[in-house]
Amino acid sequence: MGLDGVGPAEVIFKDKLFASEFSVIFLVVVRGQQCVMKVHHGRGPRRYYEPKDRELDIHILETTAYRRLKERGVCEQGIVPQFLGTMDKFDPMPCQPYLANFLNDEYPPSAIFLEYIPNLEMLHLHNYTQARMNNFLVGIRKIHKALVKHGDPKPRNMLIVKDDPERVVWIDFNRANTYDEHTITDREKVFLAEEEETVAGLKMCLPTFQKGDSNKRTYSTAHDEFHILHVMKLLAMIDEHPSMATHITTLEIGDVKKERDSGRADRLVEMAGLETCESADERVTRLLSRFLAFTAFVARCI
């Protein structure tokens, strides 16, 4: 059942599921329906120095993506959660104390309502299966067929259902780009193809390191796993195609350092016997020769 025209007083809060600097996710009941409510911090007018050729409001980005996925039947296939509706630019006062972090915001928050899917967990080495990874790849292709670029295809947004050996769910579309089929450019088509290659890269490298007792495959934090998987993907590409070694740059490791704690990224790479570079344009010519050192490092972590 869709949730249109919902007011703040209609929301019954049950639990906080996740929080970040950009949004907070709750388990709620609205009009007798249990669902997920994702609340985005409000955004004001575009600043003079910000790009004018793309949308920057994460609520609009995510809402637009989910509306397209719903229209194209992707939600119905279970690849992403069902999109139920929005509550735009609302007063957080009736939702206290749950939305206390939004009271002092300059601009009012907005929320989206999504299907609640129990027993979800993030993709890890311990729950990886070939069937699940195949379905992640099929899922991203169907998302792309709807002309939606996810924008953040990383394990933290790739969820499995613990009591279902095959079902997978893509979440978190607040960095998504939704393209128009009549105006999509060749460059935007390349963006979709590159994102599919990223997911295919994960599919290729994860089985390489899936060894030993799966119950012992744990990392100290999800962030550490993210860094390891990112470098693993790069190394697996080199291992598959040694001739690429002289052509691959440190761009991907640089992306890790921009998005996460740079000190932790450096430590992980150094422990693996690799080298880090300040410039994303410098060649990583030693990666192939250090592949065995990195394999030994991963073996100690799983």
Looking at residue 119, its pLDDT comes to 94
Torsion over CA: 74, 80, 84, 86 (sign): negative
Instruction: Provide the percentage of residues in the chain whose pLDDT is more than 70.
Output: 67
- Predicted confidence band at 55 (pLDDT cuts at 50, 70, 90)? confident
In this prediction, residue 54 has a pLDDT band, given cuts at 50, 70 and 90, of: confident
User: Could you tell me the two tokens for 92?
Assistant: 């957080």
Q: pTM of the full predicted structure? A: 0.71
User: Which domains, ranges and CATH numbers included, belong to the chain?
Assistant: 1-44+52-116 (3.30.200.20), 118-242 (no CATH)
pLDDT-derived band at 207, boundaries 50, 70, 90: low
Residue range 102-133, pLDDT digits in tens: 999 999 999 999 999 999 999 887 888 889 99
* pLDDT tens-digit readout, 133-190: 999 999 999 999 999 999 988 888 999 999 899 999 999 999 999 999 999 999 999 9
DSSP 285: T
Query: Which residues, including other chains, have CB under 8 Å from residue 288's CB and lie 6 or more apart?
Result: 238, 239, 242, 245
User: Does 237 score more than 70 pLDDT?
Assistant: no
Residue 221: pLDDT band with limits 50, 70, 90: very low
Q: What pLDDT was estimated at residue 2?
A: 83
User: In the chain, which residue ranges form alpha helices assigned H by DSSP?
Assistant: 58-71, 130-145, 186-205, 222-240, 251-259, 262-271, 291-301
